[in-house]
């Protein structure tokens, strides 16, 4: 794997792990972290060994949002420089959201601002009881614009109205209640156990089907159930059923054997 300064990447069996590694700065975003995360995700996406990706962090915090020194520098940028800077963060969020492989957020501590965006952009999120969350941008006189599509998709407009406008902190229990987290566990040991169980479930399924399923969700979400949507879904299942993986999955089921993507 490539050498990075702000993140760690590794492959453990079929699992790619990208770890934010700036604990002294609470894994806050700056130009380097954004660039390295984008590159690291693309590297794991391209690695044929990797079937699922876990996003984790070192230290006490998952991600504290924007680094204040980065924001201070950005305040002196020209309009064009500011736009390019924002687009790099948007590129990171889109890369994570659109990764063809399943993604899991391992949330061991507080997540603020863009950290909440990272969690929302993952397919699955598991957190510890003591994790805390905040969409804190308005406290700084800015808005959570780049992360808003992902947070809205995760928790809905109603809860975004409250937490984006108040910038108040909310608990892991509340994050679970409103849909930001899928599962809560007492501590980091249980966090790893829960993620291992999820990965076992993921690895039992067709990798190409999972990629197609992620694409399907993005296309269908929020669309009316009209003729165009119905036709699109019919075309998608037709393509997948006729694919080599689709044929293998059906044959394995009928022959009562594991499909060829399940490891021995």
**Which whole-number Å values give the CA distances from 257 to 35, 202, 208, 218, in the listed order?**
43, 18, 19, 32
Active-site residue flag, 137: yes
The pair phi, psi for residue 20, each rounded to 5°, is -70, 130
State the catalytic residue, choosing from 3, 43, 81, 137: 137
Segments of the chain assigned E as strands: 7-12, 15-20, 52-57, 103-107, 111-112, 124-128, 132-134, 170-171, 183-185
Three-state SS for 162-195 is HHHHHCCCEEHHHHHHHCCCCEEECCHHHHHHHH
**Catalytically annotated residues:** 137
């Amino acid at each position: 794997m490539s050498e990075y300064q702000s993140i760690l990447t590794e492959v453990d069996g079929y699992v790619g792990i990208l770890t934010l590694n700036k604990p002294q700065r609470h894994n806050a975003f700056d130009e380097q972290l954004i660039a390295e995360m984008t590159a690291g995700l693309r590297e794991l996406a391209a690695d044929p060994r990797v079937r699922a990706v876990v996003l984790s962090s070192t230290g006490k915090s998952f991600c504290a949002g924007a680094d204040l020194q980065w924001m201070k520098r950005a305040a002196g940028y020209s309009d064009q420089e500011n736009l390019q800077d924002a687009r790099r963060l948007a590129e990171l969020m889109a890369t994570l959201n659109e990764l063809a492989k399943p993604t899991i957020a391992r949330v061991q501590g507080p997540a603020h601002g863009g950290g909440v965006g990272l969690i929302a952009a993952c397919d699955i999120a598991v957190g510890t009881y003591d994790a805390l969350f905040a969409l804190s941008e308005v406290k700084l006189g800015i808005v959570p614009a780049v992360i808003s599509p992902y947070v809205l998709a995760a928790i809905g407009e109603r809860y975004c109205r409250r937490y984006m406008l108040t910038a108040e902190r909310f608990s892991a229990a509340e994050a679970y209640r409103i849909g930001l987290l899928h599962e809560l566990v007492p501590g980091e040991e249980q966090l790893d156990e829960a993620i291992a169980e999820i990965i076992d479930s993921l690895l039992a399924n067709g990798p190409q089907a999972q990629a197609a399923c992620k694409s399907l969700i993005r296309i269908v979400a929020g669309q009316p159930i009209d003729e165009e949507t119905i036709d699109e879904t019919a075309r998608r299942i037709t393509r997948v059923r006729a694919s080599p993986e689709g044929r293998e999955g059906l044959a394995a089921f009928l022959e009562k054997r594991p499909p060829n993507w399940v490891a021995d």
